[in-house]
Chains A and B, each alone.
Chain A
Amino acid sequence: MTRDPGRLAGRLQGALALAGGAALLLYALWPWLPRAGHAARPRTVVFYGFSILGEAMNGAVLPEFARRWRARTGEHVEFITSFAGSGTITNQLTLGVPAQCALLSLELDAERLAKAGVLPPGSWRRLPHGGVVNRTPFVLVVRKGNPKRIHDFADLARPGVKVVHPDPLTSGGANWAILAEYGSAARRSPGPPDQKREAGFESLLGVWRHVAAQAASARAARTQFENGFGDVLVTYEQDVIGDAAKGTLPGEVVYPPSTVLSEHTLVVVDKNIAPSERPLIDALAAFLWSEPAQTLFVQRGFRSVDERLNGGNPHFGTIRDPFLVRDFGGWDRVKKEIVDGIWKDRVMREVGR
């Protein structure tokens, strides 16, 4: 190799790198470059939701609302969305994320927001159905053929069963799962309240002794299960029945004889809504309880708050003894007595030993 061609090659390479860098910058800037015929900025709504909502909201409900709003007013609405564990979203809202609406998986998270001054206390209860937009029962997902013969939460206590569970610290779903695991046993126990509580405690202890992986959200837990971790996943029916019906779920859905129906709460964050945006946000909130939106939710695997619509999805399984959080006195009591009083203070202490 002589000196001159080497220098030439070096120059060429330098020029190439420079051109590459310039091309990259142009690519990055492209959508923001001023061009003729660029549409005016649409109106934007920032919508936060808990993890499993992503597809239903982005793929069906929000586009349908945007279509209707456009037909009615001629305005183009764009949705900026973010989906994560309900607790994660709640923390982000507390820290000032500019969301105008959020659909939380747990009323408790709404109460945390009220305590942090993000919402007026109890404001969501003035919405239709006390703020509850839709429901879905908690189910178990097992490996194909159900090799560990799991039919109920009690079966998770058997030796050798590995459970994939979302993390109660960041996932609303995990809190519902705790209530399901506790409640299914407590309701079956015939004795006085004390005995029911002990039955619930034993059930929780059995499950949590076998939790092998904890994920930040229900959706993340499902991804772990799909990647081969664990024998059983505790999750929302909605998150798995769609894929189970299509045959793309690497597992089978098992309906426990008794389980909780989770209820998902909408909060409207007034302080992030400019007066000019008010009609748009109010229309969006009202739309979520309208028959078209509820039908879309049912198609996407959520159970409607309007019982008449729930025949619309043939894949919904039957549960012999479904229950709601109000059967245990509402989230305030459940949080204090069951999640903190029993799961955190007794079960986790026992498991940690």
Chain B
Amino acid sequence: MTGNAPGERSRARIPVGLLVLVLLPLILMPIAAVFVFAFKGGPAAFWKAFTTEDAQFALRFSLLIAFLTAAINAVLGTWASYVLSKYRFPGERPLAIAINLPVAIPTVVVGTSLLLLWGPIGLFGKLLEPLGLQPMFKPAGVLLAHLFVTFPYMLGAVKPLLDELEVTYEEAAYTLGAGKWQTFRYVILPALRGGLFSGTLLTFAHSLGEFGATVMVSGNLRLRTQTAPLYIFAQFEAGHVAEANAVAAVLAALSFAIFFFLLRYSTGPKR
């Protein structure tokens, strides 16, 4: 499909071969191992492990959280990018750094700090407790953690596009009498499509696989707050390798599909 000349193709053989050789033990074989172990007992055993109540709940719960996280952060992230890219204000830089931090902080630390803030003994938790609200160890707590951890993805995908967007387009729209919303809807948003798409998918994919913060804030309750990665970890710790890998294989296949479309779309228009 890449339209390379035959000569170019044979010249690629050695570097590509070398790369594959290095990536084999680093990345490719570990991925393959998930599938090998998931299907070790045959398709029937895989299906049995995959369809247990706990596994099904964990997978569905993870997907729901991922959908919600992606939807909320798509809006929140785009808005944050817009504000940060359009306005100049004192403290802009520290703020930009701060909201990019969540991908760099160890997720376990994120979980702990959320617990200490929203938990029954925390600053917000103490205020919420008398109202009967308690987000930690509930799905809401998991969502909070995922929103935090995946926030920078949208920013990273959308803000560069906004920074590049010529102010003149926006000004032209205003001069032509377009309102703020119209300008955003018909001028800015179309330019951001690629970024929105890849940012949302990245957010979704990360949320699906989030572990460190989730394990702290969820309480790891089966059939209530246990996400797919937590289920995999719990099953593996209990020595149930087949059960763990059945769900792991499905997660891996899903991520594969997500990144397939991500790459396809982000490189597609250039072809």
Residues of A within 8 A of B (CB): 6, 10, 13, 17, 20, 24-25, 27-31, 46, 51, 54, 78, 80-84, 92, 95-98, 216-217, 219-220, 222-223, 226
Contacts of A10 in B (CB 8 A): 268
B223 contacts partner chain A, Cβ-Cβ < 8 Å = yes
Known: A25-B63, A95-B121. A84 touches B238 (CB 8 A): no
Residues on A with C-beta less than 8 A from B64 are 28-29
* B239–A96 CB distance below 8 A: no
Between A and B, 7 residue pairs with Cβ closer than 8 Å are: A13-B264, A17-B261, A96-B121, A96-B137, A97-B221, A217-B237, A223-B238
Pick the contact of B237: A13, A20, A30, A219 (CB < 8 A).
A219
Question: Smallest CB–CB gap between A321 and chain B, Å?
Answer: 31
* Nearest opposing residue in chain A for B62, CB measure: A28
- Considering the complex of A and B, which 7 residue pairs feature the smallest CB-CB distances, nearest first? A96-B120, A28-B63, A97-B219, A220-B237, A223-B239, A28-B60, A28-B64
Name the A residues within 8 Å of B264 (CB-CB).
13
Given A10-B268, A13-B264, A97-B137, check contact A92 B239 (CB 8 Å). Answer: no
| B59 CB → nearest A CB, Å | 8
Kindly list chain A residues whose C-beta atoms are within 8 Å of the C-beta of B219.
82, 92, 97-98
Given contacts A30-B60, A96-B134, A96-B137, contact A226 B239 (CB under 8 A): yes
| B67 on interface, CB distance cutoff 8 Å | yes
A residues in contact with B85, CB < 8 Å = none
> Is B115 at the interface (CB under 8 A from chain A)?
yes
How many angstroms from the CA of A97 to the CA of B137 in the assembled complex?
6
Q: How far is the CA of A51 from the CA of B268 in the complex (A)?
A: 50
Q: Once bound together, how far apart are the Cα atoms of A54 and B237, in whole Å?
A: 11
Contact check, A28 vs B239: say whether CB atoms are below 8 A apart.
no
Interface code B112-151, partner A: CB below 8 Å = 1, 0 otherwise?
A: 0001000111000100000000101100000000000000
Question: In the complex, A95→B63 CA distance in Å?
Answer: 27
Q: Tell whether, in the assembled complex, residue A219 and residue B238 are in contact, meaning their CB atoms are under 8 Å apart.
A: yes
List the B side residues contacting A84 at CB < 8 Å. Answer: 220
Docked-complex contact A20 and B257, CB < 8 angstroms: yes
Q: Is B206 an interface residue (CB 8 A)?
A: no
Choice from A29, A46, A95 contacting B221 with Cβ under 8 Å: A46
Q: Which residues of B contact A51 (CB under 8 A)?
A: 237-238
* Chain A residue contacts of B222, Cβ below 8 A: 80-82
A80-B223 contact, Cβ under 8 Å, with A25-B67, A95-B120, A223-B236: yes
What's the Cα separation between A220 and B234 when bound, in Å?
9
Q: Which residues of B contact A31 (CB under 8 A)?
A: 57, 60
Assembled-state Cα–Cα distance A13/B271 (Å): 15
In the complex, the answer to whether A219 meets B60 with C-beta atoms within 8 Å is no
Shortest Cβ distance from B57 into A: residue: A31
Q: What 20 additional pairs, Cβ within 8 angstroms, besides A95-B120, A98-B134, A219-B237?
A: A10-B268, A24-B63, A28-B63, A28-B64, A31-B60, A51-B238, A80-B221, A80-B224, A82-B219, A82-B220, A82-B222, A95-B115, A96-B119, A96-B121, A96-B125, A97-B221, A98-B219, A217-B237, A219-B238, A226-B239
